[in-house]
A = this chain, B = another copy of it.
Amino acid sequence: MSPRYANVSEREQEPPSLAISTVIFALRPDPDTGTLTLWLPLVRRIRQPYLDLWALPGGPLRPSESLQDAAARNLRETTALTPRYLEQLYAFGGPDRSPSPRVVSIVYWALVQPDEAALARQDENVAWFRADKVGTLAFDHNQIVEYALWRLRNKLEYGTVAYAFLGSTFTLAQVREVYEAVLGRELDPANFRRQLQASVHIEPTEHYLQGGRHRPPRLYRYTGPDPRDESFPSQRPEAMEH
């Protein structure tokens, strides 16, 4: 089955259509191992091409919404969640990435904090996958997910997106868990703590987290700029640190 180039002339005529897609990342414990890992929601294709394969959530741009609004909307529509972080990833537009009608996709990536309701939303056509085990996706979506992962890791190491995964207060060990889950390797607790404390974006509170079976760790608060402001476009270009 390769009807890919069945109607080339038709494809040559029409102007390419525009779509917005979003790679949505969330952290949650693996139900088997219990360790914190990266997950993302995918939707099942209910029409050709790539019928029945899993794909990134997405859809057309509505006339009066911005690109970013469209991404936030299709995030909300598939997960019922609000993005903690949302940034443009890349525009994909090769003439052969989709059979027949050409589609240019502007892709965003997002970080969310899943709650029970959102995870329950799993049905026939929406499901969460471990980011490292998504299987074969429709279109060029495997490539896109890979690239989004690379960007996430980059922003984590050089930016402040980690806090988008966390609540308003957190322990330094929780921050480290986020880094370890996303980067996929262990970090030295002692040095990691010092790096965070040196980074100025963080402030100790007077509270401690009780309930562990060990010394209660101090809670901290994030005081730096909204991580969203580190992405372009921004009202204040100085915010583009890295």
Contacts and interface: CB of A to CB of B under 8 A. Distances in A.
Interface of A: 11-18, 60-61, 63-67, 88, 90-95, 102, 104, 106, 143, 146-147, 150, 154, 232-233, 237, 240, 242
A65 to B, nearest CB: 7
A200 B100 CA distance: 46
A185 to B, nearest CB: 17
Contacts of A233: 90, 92, 143, 147
A91 B106 contact: yes
Contacts of A67: 91, 93-94, 104
Contact of A95 (B64, B91, B93, B102): B64
A15 B18 contact: yes
A102 B154 contact: no
Nearest to A95: B64
Quick one: copies of this chain in the complex? Answer: 2
9 interchain residue pairs of minimum CB distance: A67-B93, A91-B91, A12-B63, A91-B106, A66-B94, A150-B240, A64-B95, A147-B232, A146-B237
A61 to B, nearest CB: 6
Contact of A16 (B13, B61, B92, B150): B61
A143 B235 CA distance: 10
Given A232-B147, A233-B147, A237-B147, A102 B18 contact: no
A242 B93 CA distance: 23
27 contacts: A13-B63, A14-B63, A15-B18, A15-B60, A15-B63, A16-B18, A16-B61, A16-B63, A18-B104, A61-B93, A61-B104, A63-B95, A63-B102, A65-B95, A67-B91, A67-B93, A67-B94, A88-B90, A88-B91, A106-B106, A143-B233, A146-B237, A147-B232, A147-B237, A147-B240, A150-B240, A154-B242
A63 B12 CA distance: 5
A10 B40 CA distance: 38
A68 B67 CA distance: 20
A104 B104 CA distance: 11
Contacts of A88: 90-91
